[in-house]
Amino acid sequence: MEKLLFITSNQNKIKEIKTIIGDRVDLVGLKDIDWNTEIPETTGTIKGNALQKADTVFDVVGMNCFSEDTGLEVFALDGAPGVDTAIYAGDHRSNQDNMDLLLKNLENKKDRSAQFKTVIALKYNDQTHYFEGIAKGHIADNQMGTKGFGYDPIFIPDNFSLSFAQLTPQEKNQISHRAKAVAQLIDFLKTV
């Protein structure tokens, strides 16, 4: 089975993508290759950061690999937190503080519409490919549910009244930004 490196230190992402991708490829993460160096994410865009992560690691390990960058874009906040989603409330990357700050910043806003955007950058046999997935929805008034990770407790996808954190992993995987981007990645892998 072909080995494909998923450039992430977020074990939740690995778990989600492994469920979607199945045993089509042997997916390994940064932990599996003992990667301990911080990878810069400094381009200012989600797509740019995805490529930056892929380039940084590919230059060292030289194996087929992909990275993924995700941002939550809130329309009433001009697309924030966007590329800063992980560090919205500071470099300590606390999911709780990030959600608290977002709810506070939306306190007097009528429009709570938002979207998660995932961009995957794949380095495959010396070529770079991009896959993008978007999940539209809105920000809840309060946290709801405990499943998932990150901002899941405050994101309600379109056509649902439950947050991502109240859905089962299987339900989230049918409609999520990441699942849509991964579906395109899988389609591509089927063609090579």
Catalytic residues: 69
* Interface with ligand ITT: number of residues (CB under 6 A): 19
Cis peptide before 157 (omega within 30 of 0): no
Q: Specify the residue, 64 or 178, whose C-beta has the smaller distance to ligand ITT.
A: 178
Q: Specify the residue, 23 or 91, whose C-beta has the smaller distance to ligand ITT.
A: 91
Place of tokens 């306190």: 107
Minimum CB–partner distance for residue 191 and ligand ITT (Å): 25
Residue 123 and residue 145: Cα distance in Å, rounded? 36
- Under the criterion CB under 6 A, does residue 180 sit at the interface with ligand ITT? no
List the structure tokens of 116.
């998660």
- Under the criterion CB under 6 A, does residue 8 sit at the interface with ligand ITT? yes
- How would you label 72-104 residue by residue, b for 16+ Cβ within 10 Å and e otherwise? bbbebbeebbbbebbebbeeeeeeeebbeebbe
List the structure tokens of 28.
């390994």
- Under the criterion CB under 6 A, does residue 13 sit at the interface with ligand ITT? yes
- Under the criterion CB under 6 A, does residue 117 sit at the interface with ligand ITT? no
DSSP code of 47?
H
Binding mask 123-142 for ligand ITT (x = CB under 6 A): --------------------
Binding piece for ligand ITT, criterion CB under 6 A, among 18-26, 103-111, 146-154, 184-192? 146-154
Q: Which of residues 67-86 bind ligand ITT (CB under 6 A)?
A: 68-70, 85-86
Residue 41 and residue 55: Cα distance in Å, rounded? 11
Using CA atoms, how far residue 15 sits from 77, 81, 122, 125, 137, in Å, is: 31, 24, 18, 25, 23
Residues forming the site for ligand ITT (CB under 6 A) = 8-10, 13, 68-70, 85-86, 95, 98, 148-152, 164, 176, 178
